[in-house]
Amino acid sequence: MDWSYLKHIIQNNDAFVVTSHIGLDGDAVGSAVALDSYLKRCGKKSVIITQDPIPEVLRFIVNGNETYTADQKNLAEIIKKCDVAFVVDVSKYDHVGETAWQLIQAFSKHVVCIDHHRCDEPLGDYAYIDTTASSVGILLYDLFTAYDPSLIDIPIASALYTTILTDTGNFKFSNTNPHAYKVAGELLQKNINHSAICQAIHENYSWSRFGLLHETLGTLTKEADGKIAWMKITQAALEKTHATFEDSDGFVDIPRTISHVEVSILFREIDNQTTRATFRSKNYVEVNKLAGGFGGGGHARAAGATLNCPIDEAVIKVINQTKGFLHYA
């Protein structure tokens, strides 16, 4: 990747805003924090603005960086002083979140997108998209290394390392590649605390998450001879377990671990007319295409879509479509 233009953008501007997508994950937060910190190490002003609040389980990455949610008061004042907005881990403007996107468009001179999702018309004036990158953090590591590697300190390296662990599912997902291992190795050489990061990601869950998991596993259903496995989370289940959707992060990966399951789907009842479907596949189903049929998108092995119908109707529609993507030997 040729980073010369981005180097020029960083060198010649003073105030930056960093944002990411709705439904923040480890790559979104890790990349935003790493970039924000790096810009500050370059002597620039930078703030992080996100549509949604940073999930509790990812707050360990934030490490004192200022973060604002888009609905916060006087945010327009802060962004007014911004030259460039960096949008990371997302290339579709409607996934940035409405308020965050409006603020960025209204107040920044340039909008630069850095992402690894497939997208025909990425947002912004400049888009750096590499669909082979396991996480956006890896692209940022490459940028920082090209710009000035000496500015990568332990907090920045830790945030970048988190993006790799979370987006590859600990080097388990099909997007894992030699470059991801290479960058992870180089980050480990910067004396980051690998076990503290792993503990913060994987051994830091709430009791409400396990109450919700217990409820959700009760809905596990097998379809198409066990090639599809799905689960659902209703508003009633959230109420019963005092949990939020934030607590269900990663649930969709669980049914995929069953032998012979090709597609795993998690349905979430946003309200009685809105259902979010999240997809995972194991070997061949391109779930981004499956999700695309419902106006969603994502990666070949991980994708999502929002349907404007009640959850039980969404289940029927989605399962029917999914069957068409299966191979029957």
* Site stretch for Mn ion (CB under 5 A), options 24-32, 99-107, 178-186, 236-244: 24-32
User: Rounded distance, CA 202 to CA 198, Å?
Assistant: 6
For 217, the token pair is 């596993």
| Shortest spacing between CB 159 and Mn ion, in angstroms | 13
* Site stretch for Mn ion (CB under 5 A), options 42-50, 58-66, 87-95, 304-312: 87-95
- 36 near Mn ion, judged by CB under 5 A: no
- 115 near Mn ion, judged by CB under 5 A: no
| Shortest spacing between CB 232 and Mn ion, in angstroms | 25
For 87, the token pair is 């949008």
Cβ-based nearer residue to Mn ion, 70 or 164: 164
Amino acid sitting at position 52 = D
User: Rounded distance, CA 153 to CA 149, Å?
Assistant: 9
| Shortest spacing between CB 89 and Mn ion, in angstroms | 4
| Shortest spacing between CB 298 and Mn ion, in angstroms | 10
Cβ-based nearer residue to Mn ion, 27 or 247: 27
- 89 near Mn ion, judged by CB under 5 A: yes
User: Rounded distance, CA 203 to CA 86, Å?
Assistant: 31
Sheet holding 274-281, edge to edge: 221-223, 228-233, 263-271, 274-281, 302-307, 297-298
Cβ-based nearer residue to Mn ion, 131 or 257: 131
Q: Is 185 helix (H, G, I), strand (E, B) or coil?
A: helix
Identify whether the C-beta of residue 28 lies closer than 8 Å to the C-beta of residue 62: no
Identify whether the C-beta of residue 111 lies closer than 8 Å to the C-beta of residue 105: yes
Tell me the three-class secondary structure of 256-325, residue by residue: HCCCCCCEEEEEEEEECCEEEEEEEECCCCCHHHHHHCCCCEECCCEEEEEECCCHHHHHHHHHHHHHCC
Identify the residue among 9, 18, 23, 27 touching Mn ion (CB under 5 A). 27
* Site stretch for Mn ion (CB under 5 A), options 162-170, 230-238, 260-268, 288-296: 162-170
* Site stretch for Mn ion (CB under 5 A), options 82-90, 91-99, 175-183, 252-260: 82-90
Residue nearest to Mn ion (CB): 27
Identify the residue among 167, 249, 262, 269 touching Mn ion (CB under 5 A). 167
- 247 near Mn ion, judged by CB under 5 A: no
Bridge partners of 84, per DSSP, are 16, 110
Q: Give the position of tokens 């779930």.
A: 287
State the number of binding residues for Mn ion (CB under 5 A).
3
Cβ-based nearer residue to Mn ion, 89 or 223: 89
Of 91, 62, 79, residue with least CA distance to 16: 79
Cβ-based nearer residue to Mn ion, 133 or 212: 133
- 215 near Mn ion, judged by CB under 5 A: no
Give me the residues that bind Mn ion (CB under 5 A), please: 27, 89, 167
